[in-house]
């Protein structure tokens, strides 16, 4: 294993190449996963235009729009780290309405539930032509049973993770620790990017 310093644009190009190397008419479902401070949504957003320029339709989706109802995910309180890891993401909803639907029905639901109001967004379905690339971003999202084809993990060392977690969110550190031990995202992910210094990412080459 070697760690190669790269630019953000090089990370984008690397992921886009992995997607476009796959058969054009087949859907590809990509998950960008990382601690909130790594801004996985920024990398996911940056993938959209290069993929479209390569002739691939893109469905941009966010895990935060597919959280379970507050009555379920907060059943053990608002600061339960085990619930954060195990019970917040509506895995069934994401698989049924997005990740499976683009393959089986040629459509997907862009959003399901507003994470702030906890109400249904009532979003209409969007078309997913053959070869659609689903670009999904989230935190603590690997190893949950999401039906994805390519995973990108933005990795932090434990001290960086602790330093980058706001004091009010310190209760979440136990969930990140369990995630690192049980899911082992750096071993599981197809692409691992060291993101301790956001100005100088590094690609892990196995």
CATH number (domain holding residue 44)? 3.40.50.300
Residue 1 has pLDDT above 90, yes or no: no
What span, in angstroms and rounded, lies between the C-alpha atoms of 101 and 38? 29
- SS3 assignment, position 68: coil
What pLDDT does residue 103 have?
A: 97
User: Which positions ≥6 away from 109 have C-beta within 8 Å?
Assistant: 97, 98, 101, 123, 125, 126
Domain span at residue 199 reads 2-205
**What's the rounded mean pLDDT across residues 102-118?**
96
Residue 33 has pLDDT above 90, yes or no: yes
Residue 206 has pLDDT above 90, yes or no: no
Residue 63 has pLDDT above 90, yes or no: yes
Total number of domains constituting the chain: 1
**What's the rounded mean pLDDT across residues 149-160?**
98
Cβ neighbour number for residue 51 with a 10 Å cutoff:
22
**What's the rounded mean pLDDT across residues 169-175?**
98
How does residue 156 score in pLDDT terms, banded at 50, 70 and 90? very high
Measured at the CA of 64, the angle between CA 60 and CA 70, to 5 degrees, comes to 150
């Amino acid at each position: 294993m070697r760690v190669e310093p790269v630019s953000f644009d090089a990370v984008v190009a690397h992921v886009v190449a992995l997607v476009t190397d796959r058969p054009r008419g087949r859907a590809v479902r990509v998950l960008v996963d990382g601690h909130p401070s790594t801004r996985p949504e920024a990398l996911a957003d940056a993938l959209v235009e290069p993929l479209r320029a390569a002739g691939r339709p893109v469905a941009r989706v966010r895990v935060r729009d597919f959280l379970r109802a507050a009555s379920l995910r907060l059943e053990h309180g608002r600061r339960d780290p085990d619930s954060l890891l195990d019970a917040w993401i509506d895995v069934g909803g994401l698989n049924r309405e997005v990740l499976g639907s683009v393959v089986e029905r040629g459509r997907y639901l862009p959003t399901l539930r507003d994470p702030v109001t906890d109400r249904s967004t009532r979003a209409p379905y969007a078309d997913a032509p053959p070869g659609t690339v689903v670009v999904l971003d989230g935190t603590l999202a690997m190893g949950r049973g999401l039906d994805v084809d390519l995973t990108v993990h933005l990795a932090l060392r434990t001290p960086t993770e602790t330093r980058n977690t706001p004091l009010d969110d310190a209760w979440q550190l136990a969930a990140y620790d369990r995630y690192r031990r049980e899911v082992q995202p750096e071993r599981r992910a197809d692409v691992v990017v060291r993101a301790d210094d956001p100005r100088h990412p590094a690609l892990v080459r196995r």
